[in-house]
């Protein structure tokens, strides 16, 4: 193995645990997002169906009847609950808005990497994923301004993550971008910023991104379970509430 490839292998091994933690946290947030999307679409569908039934002129004998009132009430309740079925609305008082934006940028980027290992994609697809990771890195830095940064670390950090998802036949493309990011970081580093210091910055960024994702997951998972439960019981709840009047 040549010296550059040995350096790439050593870097990937060094950060593999940090990337694995990031991946696991991103999967949790992506699963919450998926459940909320499913609940939102289901609620909107039910709301539209109930509203149509209430307005359907093929049943004029129902006009003004108790059944029509129940249908309207169900449609309204489903519509209101659907508006809550999103991470931003669900966590509006629990998580800082910019932190949530950063978490979503990271989780959706990591989600987009999940299928890369199935077959080789080549430079034309690997590079855009690295660029997307650099965007997520910049968003993270805008939220966590205390993170130390040297030009080139965004590329290095993003490539280290992408490297753990790609097909082995795409490893050469990953190595090129990883070494280029490392070269840029070394070139832009100050005299006191050794490789160990630079690698510490990378690890800190990966850990901070993971911490944000875990915080979002910890807060959103129980709230999502409650919302999904409300959606499941919505019809019975509306009917019981109307009977109690």
Helices 3-55 and 97-113 cross at an angle (nearest 10°) of 110
State the DSSP code for 147: S
Which DSSP symbol is given to 121? Answer: -
pLDDT, one tens digit per residue, over 100-126 is 899 999 999 999 999 889 998 888 889
Domain ranges within the chain, ordered by starting residue: 3-243
Per residue in 142-196, pLDDT tens? 998 888 889 999 999 999 999 999 999 999 999 999 999 999 999 998 888 899 9
- Band of the pLDDT at 243, cuts 50, 70, 90? confident
200 pLDDT tier (thresholds 50, 70, 90): very high
């Amino acid at each position: 193995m040549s010296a550059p490839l040995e350096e790439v292998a050593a870097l990937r091994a060094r950060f593999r645990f940090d990337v694995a933690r990031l991946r696991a946290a991103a999967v949790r947030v992506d699963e919450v997002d998926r459940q909320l999307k499913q609940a939102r679409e289901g609620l909107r569908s039910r709301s539209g169906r109930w509203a149509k039934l209430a307005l359907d002129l093929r049943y004029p004998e129902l006009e003004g009847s108790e059944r029509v009132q129940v249908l309207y009430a169900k449609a309204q309740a489903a519509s209101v609950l659907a508006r809550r079925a999103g991470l931003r609305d669900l966590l509006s008082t629990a998580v800082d808005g910019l932190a949530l934006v950063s978490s979503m940028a990271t989780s959706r980027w990591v989600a987009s990497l999940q299928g890369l290992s199935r077959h080789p994609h080549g430079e034309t697809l690997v590079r855009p994923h690295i660029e997307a990771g650099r965007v997520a890195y910049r968003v993270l830095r805008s939220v966590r301004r205390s993170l130390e940064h040297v030009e080139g670390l965004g590329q290095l950090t993003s490539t280290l993550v992408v490297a753990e998802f790609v097909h082995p036949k795409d490893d050469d493309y990953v190595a090129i971008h990883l070494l280029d990011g490392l070269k840029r970081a070394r070139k832009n580093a100050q005299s006191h910023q050794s490789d160990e210091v630079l690698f510490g910055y990378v690890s800190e960024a990966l850990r901070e991104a993971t911490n944000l994702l875990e915080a979002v997951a910890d807060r959103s998972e129980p709230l999502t379970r409650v919302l999904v439960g409300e959606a499941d019981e919505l019809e019975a709840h509306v009917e019981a509430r109307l009977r109690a009047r």
